[in-house]
Amino acid sequence: MLKILDRYIIRKFLSTFFFMLGIIMLFAMVFDISEKLSDFIANKAPFSEILLDYYLNFLLFYGNMFSSMIIFISVIWFTAKLAQDTEIIPMWFSGKPITRFIRPYLIGATVLTVISLVLNHFIIPRANKVRLEFEEKYYRESILVEDYHADYPGNQTVYFSNFTNSSKGISDLTVQRWNDSNQPVYFLKARSAYNLPGTFKWRLTDYYEKEIVFPKGMLVHGQKKDTIFNFKMDEMAQRENVAESMTFSELKALIHREKLKGSEFVPFYEIELHQRTSYPFAAYVLTIIGVSVSSQKKRGGIGINIAIGLAFVFVYIFAMKMMTVASLNVGFPPLIAVWIPNLLFSLVAFFLYRFAQK
């Protein structure tokens, strides 16, 4: 049962968070508009699409991404204000343990964590799909892939010389297959190829095809051919942030397929997958740290508490970036890399909690 104190702190917590979230996202949107407005005008993007397809989803994505940091700053701000106005003194000296004071903070953090988890796993990927499609249409430069080479399931190797998403076609497609004894069994080369969007159907032009039956095979030449491969163009030519638009099951399937190909982008996708859970849970750690460092009245006023809080934010961001780089370049397991900052700051939170004012 929530008491008056609980309701008071939860109301302060959530109202401060949503107020700061609104202010920060408003500034972010203004800076983004100033950067991209000329491109929107040049590409004749409709106002309704700019507002609904892009900026609505922009606010959802970036607001949720930075929610843990905004939670931390919000806790620092309103708790320091309570301490400065001596509202905390009767709470501290009521004879109740510090856990009683922190409980409403954790309730508020739980509400925001659940919202963030739902957004990360169910809503944001679909919103990002709309946002990224808008960017591809009105803002981003064309995708250019050159000298593509990858292994696919079924002892199959695929190569092509170049592709641009503006032409939608690839040049010099080569497909080779081997049997389990590493002997060639199939060869195809086409001057150009086009993949029907969203399908495994391909249209080949000026092609050579050979089914190799030991010790010889027949080479077939043709001008046009419709065929089916077990790969699609949108998985061979995609941006690094494509994982942002995938649901949990889609992202797991992508990671499995990219591992079979030996793709260098696997760590990017695994980091994206694990961050969807690790980032929301950072709210608990940062809330406890925020309460611990801002609940005491200091001579410098609220400014000192905010400065301390910002220092923690910068160190936390640095730790996240450092572990991401370690995962991408050193081979550090992505699951461990994305959770280490939370674990390290949990120790910091425990230390500060133990030595908080009683």
Give the three-state DSSP class for 275.
helix
Residues 21 and 111 placed together within one structural domain of the fold: yes
Q: What is the dihedral of CA 227, 231, 234, 236, to 10 degrees?
A: -120
Q: What integer pLDDT is reported at residue 98 of this predicted model?
A: 67
Residue 253 lies in a domain: no
Q: Are residues 120 and 170 in the same domain?
A: no
Q: Indicate whether 48 belongs to any domain.
A: yes
8 and 135 part of one domain: yes
pLDDT score of 25: 93
Which pLDDT value is given to residue 91? 64
What is the rounded distance in angstroms from the CA atom of residue 295 to the CA atom of residue 176?
67
Both 300 and 341 in one domain: the answer is yes
Domain boundary among 219, 238, 257: 238
pLDDT of residue 92: 61
In this structure, which long-range contacts are made by residues 98-103, counting pairs with CB atoms below 8 Å and at least 24 apart in sequence? 98/353, 98/356, 98/357, 98/358, 101/291, 101/295, 102/288, 102/291, 102/353, 103/6
Backbone φ, ψ for residue 338 (5° rounding):
-80, -20
**Domain shared by 55 and 133, yes or no:** yes
Residue 301: per-residue pLDDT: 59
Matching residue, tokens 């190799």:
212
| 132 and 150 share one domain | no
The answer to whether residue 62 is domain-embedded is yes
| In-domain check, residue 75 | yes
Query: Is 314 a member of any domain?
Result: yes
User: Has residue 260 been placed in a domain?
Assistant: no
Type of residue at 150 = A
Q: What is the pLDDT along the chain (358 residues), one digit of tens a residue?
A: 567 778 888 999 999 999 999 999 999 999 999 988 888 888 888 999 999 999 999 999 999 988 988 998 888 888 887 777 666 666 666 656 667 778 889 999 999 999 999 999 889 999 998 998 898 888 876 677 778 888 887 788 888 888 877 777 888 899 998 888 778 888 899 999 998 887 889 999 999 888 876 556 678 888 998 988 888 887 777 766 778 888 888 888 888 888 877 777 788 888 888 989 898 998 999 898 888 887 766 665 566 767 777 777 778 878 887 888 777 777 788 888 889 888 988 888 888 887 765 5
Report how far residue 152's alpha carbon sits from residue 155's, in angstroms, rounded to the nearest whole number: 7
User: Quick one: pLDDT at residue 140?
Assistant: 74
Domain assignment of residue 275, given as a range: 4-139+265-354
Please provide residue 246's backbone torsions phi and psi, each rounded to the nearest 5 degrees.
Answer: -110, 140
**Considering the domain boundaries, does residue 254 fall inside one?**
no
Judgement on whether residues 233 and 272 belong to the same structural domain of the protein: no
Tell me: do 28 and 132 sit in the same domain. Answer: yes
What's the number of domains the chain is made of? 2
pLDDT (tens digit per residue) in 208-252: 888 876 556 678 888 998 988 888 887 777 766 778 888 888 888
In a domain, 248, yes or no: no
Q: How many beta carbons lie within 10 A of that of residue 127, not counting itself?
A: 20
Residues 156 and 178 in one domain: yes
Q: What is the pLDDT of residue 193?
A: 92
**Residues 180-195 as b or e (16 or more Cβ within 10 Å = b):** eeeeebbbbbbebbbb
Instruction: Give the model's pLDDT for residue 111.
Output: 94
List the structure tokens of 148: 């593509």
Are 45 and 167 part of one and the same domain? no
**67-84 and 56-65 are packed helices; what angle lies between their axes, rounded to 10 degrees?**
60
Same-domain pairing of 127 and 182:
no
Residues 181 and 75 in one domain: no
Its pTM stands at: 0.78
pLDDT of residue 108: 92
